[in-house]
Structure 1
């Protein structure tokens, strides 16, 4: 039996959308671990849909490199690819460093309030040791900076390549990474934006997004079966 968390089906979801979003959420959150074998029959029964939308969702997830489909062998959740992780991290670092510099020039009080509100919720997650919620708040924090600069297309670009990176970020949080450091860096980013200090904001964002470099190999050694 697969260990999947159900998601709420939105009114505008087609069956394929529902299957796709359900599987992607469970793959990114590592509820469906890398290397897990899944079948159309199993997923269709679990989500109570026909096999056609499951097949379509499988193909879409395969295009995003979250599933690998092998004829006559089966369908598997892909292993985390560290080369892919590092390339995505590198691109994200440089895009977000440029964006946070823009935020220091022109960022509304409303957007600053959203960041501060988000940070307060992150602190609650740390107290509750809720890494899945912390991950989502972390994503929202970075999105707020990008959207506050009216650079939403940048976020779309990041999301298109984020799949392997997000899985190792979840793994890092679940492995009891230093969450206080994340909060401290977020707090420093907010302060730099409020002070319109572009160089400081750039430096803190760089440090923040480079932390993962130092964790990758240790995580691979500890969870070798999850990596390519």
Structure 2
């Protein structure tokens, strides 16, 4: 393994936790660490300790321990009492499972959006497409990733089902590490065009076309997995043959 790929918690920027705010301290620690795992600031197999995270974030070890357990349950950390805690390798199975869940739910929201959309309700989606074009031109992949997520959230809201995104959120996180590995200027342009195709179908009220466009958009993660494995093979779990 090329150890230059591994992150270092000592060099990581982490926020000092505000003890009297919501959500809970444990949730704040969880959110901060998950964000850095998904963005690959903490890449797979990075060692991470409760004590060091607690010190950097200005909290006791108990909320950090709870956050670690939550991350481990979701498949993002491996906790081994004898050898310490490390960021988990990427599970292709978990990514494909997340794609299945997203496709089932987001196809339904697209079809519903086609039935209820109006020119006024579509304005936020058109504005997001315009901002995505700007992000692509600026080659700002972090901004594009954030706007990508906002686009999908907006479709759920348009369909009158914002709760759907809550159901999607935790499982889709496994897809996010793949997307960050493969989010190049070219892949951003592909994603942007797919978003345009989805919005065009919703604008036209064509539920079948919207379903096809969303399905194609979410299926592309399969291609991205192959590309990411070529670039960072050591980041992935070995598959049984």
User: What is the TM-score when the length of structure 1 is the normalising length?
Assistant: 0.92
Q: Which residue of 1 aligns with 2:4?
A: none
> Does residue 208 of structure 2 align to residue 202 of structure 1?
no
Change (3 A) 1:8 1:105: farther
Q: Which residue of 2 aligns with 1:182?
A: 191
Change (3 A) 1:100 1:27: same
> Does residue 139 of structure 2 align to residue 129 of structure 1?
yes
Task: Pick from 84, 90, 108 the counterpart of residue 80 of structure 1.
Answer: 90
Name the CA distance, whole Å, in 2 between partners of 1:9 and 1:124.
33
2:220 is paired with a residue whose SS is helix
1:34 is paired with a residue whose SS is coil
Task: Confirm or deny: 8 A CA contact 1:85 1:165 kept in the other structure.
Answer: yes
Name the CA distance, whole Å, in 1 between partners of 2:99 and 2:23.
31
Listed one character per residue, the Cα deviations across residues 95-142 of structure 1 (whole Å, up to 9, x for unaligned) are 212221111101244431111111111112112211112111111100
Listed one character per residue, the Cα deviations across residues 61-96 of structure 1 (whole Å, up to 9, x for unaligned) are 111111111111101111110011112112212221
Post-superposition offset of 1:38: 0.2
Q: Which residue of 2 aligns with 1:144?
A: 154
Q: Which residue of 2 aligns with 1:163?
A: 173
Change (3 A) 1:202 1:119: same
> Does residue 70 of structure 2 align to residue 60 of structure 1?
yes
Task: Pick from 207, 211, 236 the counterpart of residue 227 of structure 1.
Answer: 236
| Count of residues in correspondence between the two structures | 227
Q: Which residue of 2 aligns with 1:4?
A: 12
Name the CA distance, whole Å, in 2 between partners of 1:91 and 1:51.
34
Change (3 A) 1:154 1:27: same
2:97 is paired with a residue whose SS is helix
Q: Which residue of 2 aligns with 1:213?
A: 222
Task: Confirm or deny: 8 A CA contact 2:43 2:87 kept in the other structure.
Answer: yes
Task: Pick from 79, 104, 118 the counterpart of residue 94 of structure 1.
Answer: 104
Alignment root-mean-square deviation, CA: 1.8
Q: Which stretches in structure 2 are left out of the alignment for 5+ residues?
A: 1-7
User: What is the TM-score when the length of structure 2 is the normalising length?
Assistant: 0.87
Listed one character per residue, the Cα deviations across residues 23-49 of structure 1 (whole Å, up to 9, x for unaligned) are 011011111001111001111122122
Name the CA distance, whole Å, in 2 between partners of 1:8 and 1:195.
48
Name the CA distance, whole Å, in 1 between partners of 2:29 and 2:139.
29
Higher relative contact order (CA 8 A, sep 6+): 1
Q: Which stretches in structure 1 are left out of the alignment for 5+ residues?
A: none
Name the CA distance, whole Å, in 2 between partners of 1:5 and 1:113.
37
Name the CA distance, whole Å, in 1 between partners of 2:172 and 2:188.
21
